[in-house]
Amino acid sequence: MAHANEPRFTFGLWTVGNPGRDPFGDAVRPAADPVDTVRRLAELGVYGVSFHDDDLVPPGSTGVERDRIVKRFRQALDETGMAVPMATTNLFHRPVFKEGAFTANDPEVRRLAVAKTMDAIDLGVELGAEVYVLWGGREGCEVDAAKPVADALDRYAEAVDLLCDYVAERGYDLRFALEPKPNEPRGDILLPTVGHALGFIEHLQRPDMVGLNPEFAHETMSGLSFHHAIGQALWAEKLFHIDLNAQRTGKYDQDFRFGSEGIKDAFFTVRLLESSGWDGMRHFDAHPYRTEGEQGVWDFARGCMRTYRLLAEAAARFDADPEVQEAMVVARVPDLATPTAVGDGGPEAIRAHARTIDEPTLAAAHYGNERLDQLVVEHLLGAR
């Protein structure tokens, strides 16, 4: 596999700016100034930043205040050369969204959510965003009787269709990326996995404008393989953005430093991103532990990028190792690209051919997967 050039790393303002509040504890760090964040990240070699509308412009700001904030922020971007490849909307923090946003039972709440997103899209586009992430953290329920799924999906699709219309009407060069999550903060969230979002998109009016923003932690919470999720999203040509972090299965949403948990799945994810030629941002959506102060925040940011690079190097070494290549042949990996069809024939040609196959001989084949996986582990551990 060919491996790509230097990856472009981005961070959300809310990641290094996270004050460390959790369900059982108070903030441990002061709120960060977005302009400071941009400057510090630029010093670390970061390519760009992303934000929720409220991260940059506090809710309730007047138009004048908004413009002043945006001007100052843009100045920092200009000075540092930082980009804003992605933006998003906060539709989860304010009490008005407690019962849902795009799928709230009350139409007025839904209208507020759509309008807030339109404003936030304007803000994102103004700062250069080309991808707009929609994370429906409140789109779900604890009480199934209160949320008929078909109606909720109708409303979800309606909202995304409206936003696509808006972007098309405005002539913005912007695509949407849905971010699936199985639960937390709701008992069950609609579009819980990459798969559910892929299926949903096909029912939209402008499916080409909508893709995915898979997050490592979110798929891993359910015990699903993130690498497989990315594989299917790439196969469907729907990987528009990605959220890299770390998580242990079956736990609360941890958003740990990339590579700090699930390192083997992280390795295969990086290998796939680097070898597929995918040219999107390597975006980190994680936050520092509560034990950290300012120094720890930047250690955290550096660590995300450093581990990504180390995994990319390990993946390149792995793919270049002749012993790996031989083990791939033993495992018949190249043959998976061979069609099942026999020549130009259809099903009957396969049936005729299958009569000639000696099943016991075929069943006796061995695939050397223990050796192949041990080579993965040894490359991962830097032992080859």
Q: Is residue 44 involved in binding its own copies (CB under 8 A)?
A: no
Site size toward its own copies, by CB under 8 A: 168
Positive or negative: CA dihedral 187, 220, 261, 41 = negative
- The size of the chain, in residues, is 384
Closest to 270 measured CA to CA, from 238, 314, 303, 234: 314
Q: How far is the CB of 97 from its own copies (least distance, A)?
A: 8
Q: How far is the CB of 77 from its own copies (least distance, A)?
A: 26
**Binding to its own copies in span 131-160, by CB under 8 A:** 137-138, 141-155, 158-159
Amino acid at 73: F
**Binding to its own copies in span 220-279, by CB under 8 A:** 221-225, 227-228, 231-232, 234-236, 248-254, 256-257, 259-261, 263-264, 268, 272
Q: Is residue 36 involved in binding its own copies (CB under 8 A)?
A: no
DSSP for residue 132: E
Instruction: With H, G, I as helix, E, B as strand and everything else as coil, classify residue 84.
Output: strand
Instruction: Name which of 36 and 154 has its Cβ closer to its own copies.
Output: 154
**Binding to its own copies in span 287-316, by CB under 8 A:** 288-297, 299-300, 302-303, 306-307, 310-311, 314
Q: How far is the CB of 81 from its own copies (least distance, A)?
A: 26
Among all residues, which ones are annotated catalytic? Answer: 52, 55
For residue 132, CA distances in Å to 27, 112, 210, 344 come to: 28, 18, 9, 43
Q: Is residue 381 involved in binding its own copies (CB under 8 A)?
A: yes
Q: Is residue 217 involved in binding its own copies (CB under 8 A)?
A: no
Q: Is residue 37 involved in binding its own copies (CB under 8 A)?
A: no
Alpha helices in 175-214 (DSSP H): 194-201
Q: How far is the CB of 247 from its own copies (least distance, A)?
A: 10
**Binding to its own copies in span 322-341, by CB under 8 A:** 324, 328, 331-333, 335-341
Amino acid at 109: V
- The Cα–Cα gap between 325 and 373 comes to 12
- The Cα–Cα gap between 137 and 70 comes to 26
- The Cα–Cα gap between 134 and 125 comes to 15
Stretch that binds its own copies, among 42-50, 71-79, 123-131, 365-373 (CB under 8 A): 365-373
